[in-house]
Amino acid sequence: MASWLDIAFRRPVPTPPVQQPQPPPEQPAAPAQAPAVGQPTKDEFVASTNAATGPDLTGAPQFQTLAAPPEGESTPSTGPTAKPASEYNRPGGVEGDALDVDLAFKQGGPSQAAQTLADLTLKNRDVPGYADSLLKASAPTLQAISEKLGERTSKGGLDDKKKDSFGKYNTTYETLKGLSVVADKAGPEGLKLLGQSLASATPNKGEINQLDDKLNELGDEKVPGLEKLAGTLVTELEATGKNKAAKELRKEYKPLAEVPAAPPPGNRWTPGTPLSEAKNAHTTNTRSDFDHAKKGDYTWFEGDVRMEFNREGKIEMRHDEGNETGDNLTLTEWLNKGKELGVGLKLDVKDDRVFNNRFLEEVRASGVPDNKLMFNYGFGKAAAEGAKTRAMFPGATLALNPPGGPMNEQVDKLIGQVTSINDANKLPSTGPNKPPVTFVFEYGKHPEDPALINKLKEYGTISIWRGNSFQSLSVEDSTKNLRNLGIDGMIDLKESVVSSITETVKDTVTDTIKGLNPRRF
Q: What is the pLDDT of residues 23-51, one digit of tens each?
A: 444 444 444 444 443 344 333 333 333 33
pLDDT at 472: 60
DSSP readout, 118-158? Answer: HHHHHHTTTSTTHHHHHHHHTHHHHHHHHHHHHHHHH-TT-
| Helix extents (H) in 342-424 | 359-366, 379-392, 407-424
* pLDDT at 54 exceeding the cut of 90: no
| Mean pLDDT, residues 447-458 taken together | 98
Give the torsion through C-alpha atoms of 104, 107, 112, 118, to 10 deg.
-10
| Rounded distance between C-alpha atoms, residue 120 and residue 118, angstroms | 6
Closest CA to 114 of 48, 183, 212: 183
| Mean pLDDT, residues 497-504 taken together | 38
Work out the percent of the chain whose per-residue pLDDT is above 70. Answer: 77
pLDDT at 368: 96
CA dihedral for 135, 140, 141, 142, sign (positive or negative)? positive
pLDDT at 471: 58
**CB–CB of 181/222 below 8 Å?**
no
* pLDDT at 483 exceeding the cut of 80: yes
Strands (E) across 256-349 are located at 280-281, 300-307, 315-317, 344-349
CA dihedral for 197, 202, 204, 210, sign (positive or negative)? negative
Closest CA to 283 of 348, 363, 368: 348
| Rounded distance between C-alpha atoms, residue 355 and residue 336, angstroms | 19
* pLDDT at 16 exceeding the cut of 70: no
Mean pLDDT score of the chain, rounded to an integer? 83
> What dotted CATH number matches 275-500?
3.20.20.190
Domain map (residue ranges) of the chain: 93-250, 275-500
* pLDDT at 501 exceeding the cut of 80: no
Residues whose CB is less than 8 angstroms from the CB of residue 59 and which lie 6 or more positions away in sequence, other chains included: none
Three-state DSSP class for residue 456 = helix
pLDDT in tens, 321-370: 988 888 999 999 999 999 999 999 999 999 999 999 999 999 999 999 99
pLDDT in tens, 250-299: 999 999 999 999 888 889 999 999 999 999 999 999 999 999 999 999 99
| Rounded distance between C-alpha atoms, residue 156 and residue 468, angstroms | 52
Confidence of residue 467 (pLDDT cuts 50, 70, 90): low
Task: Answer yes or no: pTM beyond 0.85.
Answer: no
pLDDT in tens, 99-130: 999 999 999 999 999 999 999 999 999 999 99
Compute and round to an integer the Cα radius of gyration of the chain: 27
pLDDT at 474: 84
pLDDT at 494: 73
Total count of residues recorded for the chain:
521
Confidence of residue 430 (pLDDT cuts 50, 70, 90): very high
pLDDT at 13: 42
Confidence of residue 468 (pLDDT cuts 50, 70, 90): low
Least confident range of 57-61, 102-106, 135-139, 427-431: 57-61
Q: In terms of pLDDT, which residue wins out, 237 or 156?
A: 237
Composition of the chain by helix, strand, coil, percent to 5: 45, 10, 45
Q: How far is CA 284 from CA 45, 196, 294, 398, 518, in A?
A: 46, 40, 9, 20, 12
Q: How far apart are the first and last CA of the chain?
A: 66
**CB–CB of 279/300 below 8 Å?**
yes
| Rounded distance between C-alpha atoms, residue 111 and residue 108, angstroms | 7
Taking every pair of Cα atoms in the chain, the longest distance, rounded to a whole number of angstroms, is 101
